[in-house]
Structure 1
Amino acid sequence: MAPSKVTLDSTILIVGAGVWGCSTALHLARRGYKHVTVLDPYTVPSAIAAGNDINKIMEHKELKDSENSPRSVAFTTCTRAAFSGWKTDPVFKPYFHETGLIVSGHTPALVEHIYKDEIEPSVADYVKLETAGDFQKTMPPGVLTGDFPGWKGWLSKSGAGWIHAKKALVSAYTEAKRLGVNFITGSPQGNVVSLVYENGDVVGAKTSDGVIHRADQTILAAGAGSDRLLDFKKQLRPTAWTLCHIQMTPEEVKLYKNLPVLFNIAKGFFMEPDEDKHELKICDEHPGYCNFLPDPERSDEIRSIPFAKHQIPLEAEARARDFLRDTMPHLADRPLAFARICWDADTPDRAFLIDKHPEHPSLLVAVGASGNGAMQMPTIGGFIADALEGHLQQELKHVVRWRPETAVDRDWKSTQNRFGGPDAVMEFQTIGETEWTKVDVKSRL
C-alpha cells in the first residue's frame, strides 16, 4: 500500500512528547505543517521522561579524516547540527552552558580506551590531566578536594558542557504550541494504548479513553515506551540509568558555577548545581539496568519493560558516593535530596533508528537514542522531518535505517561499550523491595 503524499496539509500524529517528540513537533510547525498533534500520557515535562532533567552532557567533537566509520560520521553529523542549534537557536540557546568537559578513567585500561576511542580520533584540543593536582586545578579551590586515586583524563575547554534539559524541553514545547501544534497530554486522553491498523498500514493511534486519533502520517517517538506499541524485531532494549541529587548551600552554588563537567567513564559524573533548587546531580556510571520479564507475546523470549520509580537501588547510591569520595569527599556523606531511574532505548549498534516502517508506509519510527538523545534536542526533529518527507541526507539514512538484521540473536545483556558498576547489565528483578533508597520526593512530583 502506498502512503499518502506528505504535504503541509497532511494530518500528522506524534506519539510521545519527550525530547524527540517535542523537537519533531517544533520542526514540523516551523516548516509550515498545519495539522500536527502530539499525544503523551503525561503533561510536559513528563515526570518519567529522560529529558525532564536539570542537566545533561553536551559534547561535540569533529573527527579526523581517518575516523570515517558510517556510524561515527552519522553521529558527528547529528551532533554538529545540534551544537549549532544550542549556540544559535533562540528556543534552545539560553539553556546551553559551554563550560568544558573532563573525560577520565581510573585504571590504565580505561585510560587507554578513552585515548583510542575519544581522544585520538578527534581534532579537538585537549589538556591532559595526570595527577590529582591537575584535576583540582580545573576548578576553583575547595571544589575538587579528593585524591583522584589512579585517575587520568583530558579536559576539553570548548565544544562541550551541559544543557538544562528540562527547561529546553519546555521551551521547545511552548514554541511548538505557539506555532499551532496540538498537544493532548495526561491520562486517559493522551495515553496511547495501541497503534491503529487498516489495510496493512498505520492510520493513527488509540488512547485509553477509547478515542481513535486518525492521521495521514504517524510518528512513533515514545522513547523507551515505544517498544510496547510496536514489534521492533529486537532492535530496542529499554535500559535505565540512575541519578541522585544532594542539597547545596547558596555559597556552594556560587563556588560551583560554570564548572566543566567531570566525567569518569566507569565511576560517574557531575555538573554544576541547578539554579532553582540548588541541588547537585550525580550519576553513577554503569552499563545500565533492565527489567527483564517474559514477553507476553512470545513466551520463549524476554523483554525489558520500563517502569517509573523516583528512587534508586542502594547499590547505585553507594556507587555515587564512591565517585564523590574520589572527587569531592566533603560531600560524600550528604543525604540525598532526590533520586530516580531514567530510561532510554538502546539499539544493537547504539545508532539512532529513524525510518519509515517497511510494512506500514504511513508509520515513521524515531527511537533508539541509546543514551545520546537529549543533546540532539535542537535539531533531531529536523532530521526526523526530513525522513518523513523522504529526503534524509545520505550519510544518515543508511545508518539510522530500519535494520532488524543487526538484532538477530541479540545479546540482551551486552554492555554495549559501557563501563562501571559490575561491568555488566544489571537486572531490577534482583533488587529487593528493601534495597532501594527512601528519599522523600513526594513534594517534587
Structure 2
Amino acid sequence: MTANKFSLSKDLTILIIGAGTFGISTAYHLAKRGYSNITCIDRNPCPSVDSAGYDLNKIIRTEYEEPLYVELALEALDAWRKPEWDGIFHETGRMVITTGNDQAERHLRESYENLNKVGQAGKIDFVQGKDQILLYVPQLRDAPGVESWKGFFNSQGGWAHAKKALEKWGAEAQQMGVKFVSGPQGTMTGLQIDGSGTLAGIRVASGDILHADRYILSTGAASPEVLPELANELWSKCWPLAHVELTEEELSQWKGIPVVDHFDLGFTFEPDPETRLMKICDNCPGYQYRAGTSTDDAGNGSSYSIPRYASTNPEDGIPAEATASINRFIDAVMPQFSGRPLVNSRVCWCTDSPDSHWLIDAHPKHNELLLATGDSGHAFKMFPIIGSYIADALEGHSSGLREEWKYGNRKVTPAATRVGTEVKDLRDVSALL
C-alpha cells in the first residue's frame, strides 16, 4: 500500500466492511486515534453473529512456531491483562497434550524454543504421565489414556469470552462516534467500478452505492464471496464445535481448569458460569463449501469455498463424523460426560491464507481499498491489538505493512496446529445439504 506519510486527515471518511474481530477492533482503534467519520457495515447488527469471534470462548495463547506471532501474542496478552478485560479474559493457562503425534511434538518444541528466545519460556512446564498432568488438571483423573499423554502446561494465556469482547468494543466504538449500519444497507454485494476502472464505491443489497475516502475490507470468511478475486488468496473453511451442559455441582468442580488442548482430538475450556455450557471443538483440517463460482476472461469456470452461515441455515448443525469426533474427545479426556447430549452444535467459519499469515495490504488494483482479512485461525487472540496494526497500515506505517501480510505470491505452508490434510465439502458429509 502506498505510504500516506502518516498525514491522513482525521476528517477522512472511512468505510469498514465487516463487524467482526478485525472490523470492530479497527473501528475502535481508528476512533481512539481521533478519526471522526467512520462507518462500519455488516448484514448483521454489531457484533455480527457470523463472525468467528461471536462465540462463547476463544483460546488466548503465546505458543507459535512463527516468531512474528509470538511477538504479537505476547503484546496481545499484555493488553488482555488490563483491567478493562476483567471478567472477559481468564488467565487459566493452557495445557497441550499428545499421545506421540510427530506434528504435535514438533509444534511444542518449536513453540518452546521461540518463547525461550524472547525470555518467555519460564512459565512452561513439560508434563508426561498421569501424576504430572493431574498436578495441573486433577479433573482429568478419569481419562482412560492419561498415563500415555505428554506435552506442556503454559500458565501464560487461557481464554476470553469472545462475544462479550466484541460487544464491549463495538459499544465503545459507537460511543466514540462510529456508525454501525446493518441490513440491506450494510450488506456488501460488490465493488462499484467506473468506466476508467477506478473504484467508485461499495455496492450494497439495498441498491445503494456507499462512498468513502478509504475502504477497509474485514469480511473474514465471506471475503472471497464478496470479492471473488480473493478466492485465489484465501480459503474459507469451517470447524465444528458443540457443548455439554453441566450441573451446578459439575460447574463448581470444573471451574478454573486450564484450556485442555488434546492435539490429536480437540480442545475444551472451563464451563461458562452463566449457561453451565462447556465448549468442545474438534481438531480437524476443517470443512469447505465450494458453492462460489466465477468465470475468467476466457470463459473458464471455477468454484471456490464460501461460508454457509448458521444465521441463515440454522438447521445445518455439524456433520455426523464431527459429532463422533467430539464424542471421542469426551470419551478420551472427560469420560464423566460420555453419552451426554451435545447442545448448540454448529460450525465456525474462518478464512485461511496459504501460509497462515494475515492479509493486510492494499487491493492490487484499488489503493484506497485496504484488505484486512485472512485470520487463519489466529486472529481473535489478537483482538485488542489487531485493529491498531490495521490502522497503521491505513496510515502507511511499516508496522502495519509487513512483508508477511502482503497480497499475492504466498507459498503454501500447512498449519502446524491442524491435524490432517483432507478438507471435505460439507455437501459430502451432511444429509441436510
By the TM > 0.5 criterion, same fold? yes
Q: Letter of the 1:406 partner, please give it.
A: R
> 1 CA distance for matches of 2:67 and 2:114?
12
SS in 2 for 1:228: helix
Contact 1:9 1:34 in 2 (8 A): yes
Q: Which residue of 2 aligns with 1:87?
A: 81
Q: How far apart are 1:47 and its partner, in Å? A: 2.4
Q: TM (normalized to structure 1)? A: 0.87
Q: Letter of the 1:304 partner, please give it.
A: S
> 2 CA distance for matches of 1:144 and 1:223?
39
Q: Letter of the 1:81 partner, please give it.
A: E
> 2 CA distance for matches of 1:117 and 1:354?
26
**Which of 402, 406, 416 is the matching residue for 1:401?**
406
Say which is worse superposed, 258-267 or 217-226, in terms of deviation.
258-267
> 1 CA distance for matches of 2:361 and 2:322?
35
Q: Which residue of 1 aligns with 2:368?
A: 362
Q: Which residue of 2 aligns with 1:430?
A: 428
> 2 CA distance for matches of 1:251 and 1:363?
52
Contact 2:67 2:114 in 1 (8 A): no
**Which of 309, 331, 334 is the matching residue for 1:328?**
334
Q: Any residues of structure 2 matched to 1:88-237 within 5 Å, and which?
A: 88=82, 90=84, 92-123=85-116, 124-125=121-122, 126-140=124-138, 142-148=139-145, 150-157=148-155, 159-185=156-182, 187-198=183-194, 199-230=196-227, 231-232=229-230, 234-237=232-235
Contact 1:132 1:146 in 2 (8 A): no
Give the 3 Å change call, closer, same or farther, for CA 146–218 of structure 1 in structure 2. same
> 2 CA distance for matches of 1:113 and 1:2?
39
Q: How far apart are 1:323 and its partner, in Å? A: 0.8
Contact 1:204 1:217 in 2 (8 A): no
Give the 3 Å change call, closer, same or farther, for CA 273–373 of structure 1 in structure 2. same
Q: Deviation digits for residues 274-331 of structure 1, max 9, x if unmatched? A: 1221100000101111112462334443301111135111111111111111111110
Give the 3 Å change call, closer, same or farther, for CA 217–19 of structure 1 in structure 2. same
Q: TM (normalized to structure 2)? A: 0.90
> 2 CA distance for matches of 1:181 and 1:294?
32
Give the 3 Å change call, closer, same or farther, for CA 89–30 of structure 1 in structure 2. farther
Give the 3 Å change call, closer, same or farther, for CA 284–226 of structure 1 in structure 2. same
> 2 CA distance for matches of 1:331 and 1:255?
13
> 1 CA distance for matches of 2:333 and 2:2?
58
Q: Deviation digits for residues 134-193 of structure 1, max 9, x if unmatched? A: 3233224x4542123532111111x210011000000010000000000002x2121111
Contact 1:16 1:38 in 2 (8 A): yes
Q: Which residue of 2 aligns with 1:337?
A: 343
Give the 3 Å change call, closer, same or farther, for CA 2–342 of structure 1 in structure 2. closer
**Which of 233, 239, 242 is the matching residue for 1:241?**
239
Contact 1:82 1:377 in 2 (8 A): yes
> 1 CA distance for matches of 2:48 and 2:292?
27
In the alignment, does 2:380 pair up with 1:374?
yes
SS in 1 for 2:371: strand
Say which is worse superposed, 128-137 or 32-41, in terms of deviation.
128-137
Contact 2:234 2:352 in 1 (8 A): yes
Q: Which residue of 2 aligns with 1:439?
A: none
Q: Which residue of 1 aligns with 2:12?
A: 10
Q: Which residue of 2 aligns with 1:442?
A: none
> 1 CA distance for matches of 2:140 and 2:417?
27
Contact 2:3 2:397 in 1 (8 A): no
Q: Which residue of 1 aligns with 2:303?
A: 302
> 2 CA distance for matches of 1:235 and 1:306?
16
Name structure 2 gaps, 5 residues minimum. Answer: none
Name structure 1 gaps, 5 residues minimum. Answer: 437-445
**Which of 41, 44, 47 is the matching residue for 1:45?**
47
Q: Deviation digits for residues 384-430 of structure 1, max 9, x if unmatched? A: 00000001327x6111111x2226xx7xxx8533443x642222121
Q: How many residues align?
A: 415
